[in-house]
């Protein structure tokens, strides 16, 4: 065993072995993941600042986007820890390894919970438009978001309690970062963090799609003639556009999440090699970078807020009262 193959050359008997990979491949991976991580943090920070600062953006739907952006922002920060593992060695100690994995579990769970609430929000907005303003208020959305994060913390704490009691207990050598969930806890995690939420999201959005198609046909047929009906049609167009945008977010989310949970569901994670495992995890992280990019293409208010932030107009007095509509 050569010294260059050890994570800790001075600890020959207990050190993990570093997998041999071409230097250019390691550096390219470092640069790529570092760029994605920085971009994820920056873009989601822009979303957080935009929705938090501009009062006109304080809508129930945008509060859900704010919660999702907060989760994605922390995912961007956690990617730096994943970058440490690229070379196959963990140098930050058992406590930091456990903390990193624990936070990743919580943030992923909170993101999925937020997606469920977003789907429910669009379901009510499209299927029950006349009751939306009374059923969905900022206060109720804030309570839902808080409950989502609190439940995520409690649930994931129960799932990974063995790892929290004794950090590093499952490591076979020094320089390894292993996080093991027992079989029963893993089954509960897959059911309540993946199967049930995904089922709810798909069912709600299928219903939204059916209703949206029927409403679009009604609009094209120009059945609404009176002024009140025209106002309702305009409101429906706005909600339909929001549903379409958030539908893209949900679909991208499912595409990025499914490979990870499918591996967990089949229990075949031991079949994956290091490269495949890293790809599945990085795909989950990359989803957090895609969400703000989707907002740029679909939300004019986000493009305008980026311009105001970049030009420092946000620092002007009463900038929070800026009209964000184009």
pLDDT tens profile 56-101: 999 998 999 999 999 999 988 988 887 777 777 888 888 888 898 8
Residue 246 lies in a domain: yes
pLDDT value of position 225: 47
pLDDT tens profile 213-253: 776 666 666 554 444 444 444 445 666 666 677 778 778 88
pLDDT tens profile 155-209: 999 888 888 888 877 788 888 887 777 778 878 888 888 889 888 988 888 888 7
Provide the token pair at 309. Answer: 């932030």
Specify which residues 174 forms β-bridges with.
15
SS3 315: helix
pLDDT value of position 237: 62
- On the 0-12 / 13-18 / 19+ scale of CB atoms within 10 A, 240 is buried
What CA–CA distances, in Å, run from 206 to 182, 194, 213, 293? 35, 18, 11, 24
Residue 101 lies in a domain: yes
Is the pLDDT at 26 greater than 50, yes or no? yes
Q: Cβ distance 248 to 298 under 8 Å?
A: yes
pLDDT value of position 274: 47
Domain count across the chain: 1
Q: Cβ distance 75 to 288 under 8 Å?
A: yes
| CATH number, domain with residue 187 | 1.20.1070.10
Sign of CA pseudo-dihedral 303, 307, 310, 315: negative
Domain with 131 in it: 28-321
Contacts 24+ apart (CB under 8 A), 289-292: 289/36, 289/39, 289/40, 289/43, 289/72, 289/76, 290/252, 290/256, 291/44, 291/47, 291/68, 291/69, 291/72, 291/249, 291/252, 291/253, 292/43, 292/44, 292/46, 292/47, 292/69, 292/72
Is the pLDDT at 2 greater than 60, yes or no? no
Is the pLDDT at 268 greater than 70, yes or no? no
Residue 255 lies in a domain: yes
Residue 91 lies in a domain: yes
Bigger pLDDT: 11 vs 293 = 293
DSSP alpha helices (H): ranges in 267-299? 274-298
Q: Cβ distance 29 to 86 under 8 Å?
A: yes
Is the pLDDT at 288 greater than 50, yes or no? yes
Residue 19 lies in a domain: no
Compute the CA torsion angle 63, 64, 65, 71 (nearest 10 deg).
Answer: 110
pLDDT tens profile 112-168: 899 899 889 988 888 888 888 888 899 999 999 999 999 999 999 988 888 888 887
What's the first-to-final CA gap in the chain, in angstroms? 65
SS3 92: coil
Mean pLDDT, the chain, integer: 80
Rounded average pLDDT over 268-296 = 69
pLDDT value of position 272: 43
Q: Cβ distance 138 to 221 under 8 Å?
A: no
Residue 13 lies in a domain: no
SS3 17: strand
Q: Which residues of 1-26 are buried (b: 16+ CB within 10 A; e: fewer)?
A: eeeeebbeeeeeeebbebeeeeeeee
CA–CA distance, 33 with 285 (Å, rounded to integer):
10
Residue 278 lies in a domain: yes
Residue 106 lies in a domain: yes
What CA–CA distances, in Å, run from 13 to 6, 9, 77, 162? 10, 9, 33, 27
DSSP alpha helices (H): ranges in 128-273? 129-135, 138-159, 161-165, 183-190, 196-220, 227-266
């Amino acid at each position: 065993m050569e010294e260059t193959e050890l994570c800790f050359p001075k600890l020959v008997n207990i050190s993990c072995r570093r997998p041999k990979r071409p230097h250019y491949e390691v550096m390219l991976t470092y640069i790529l993941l570092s760029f994605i991580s920085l971009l994820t943090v920056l873009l989601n920070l822009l979303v957080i600042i935009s929705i938090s600062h501009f009062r006109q953006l304080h809508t129930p739907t945008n509060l859900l986007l704010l919660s999702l952006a907060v989760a994605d922002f922390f995912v961007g920060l956690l990617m730096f820890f994943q970058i440490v593992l690229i070379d196959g060695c963990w140098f930050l100690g058992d406590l930091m390894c456990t903390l990193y994995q624990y936070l990743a579990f919580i943030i992923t769970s909170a993101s999925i919970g937020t997606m469920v609430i977003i789907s429910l929000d669009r379901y009510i907005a499209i299927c029950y438009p006349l009751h939306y303003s009374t059923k969905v208020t900022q206060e109720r959305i804030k309570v839902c978001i808080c409950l989502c994060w609190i439940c995520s913390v409690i649930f994931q704490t129960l799932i990974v309690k063995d790892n929290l009691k004794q950090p590093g207990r499952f490591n076979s050598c020094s320089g390894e970062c292993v996080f093991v969930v027992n079989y029963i806890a893993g089954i509960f995690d897959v059911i309540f963090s993946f199967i049930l939420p995904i089922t709810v999201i798909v069912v709600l959005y299928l219903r939204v799609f059916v209703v949206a198609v029927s409403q679009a046909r009604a609009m094209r047929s120009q059945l609404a003639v009176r002024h009140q009906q025209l106002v309702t049609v305009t409101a429906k167009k706005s909600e339909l556009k929001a549903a379409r945008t958030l539908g893209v977010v949900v679909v991208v989310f499912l595409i990025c999440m499914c490979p990870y949970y499918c591996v967990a569901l089949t229990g075949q994670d031991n079949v994956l090699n290091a490269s495949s495992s890293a790809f599945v995890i990085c795909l989950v992280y990359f989803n957090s970078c895609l969400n703000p990019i989707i907002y740029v293409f679909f939300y004019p208010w986000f493009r305008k807020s980026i311009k105001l932030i970049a030009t420092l107009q946000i620092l002007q007095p009463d900038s929070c009262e800026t009209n964000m509509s184009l």
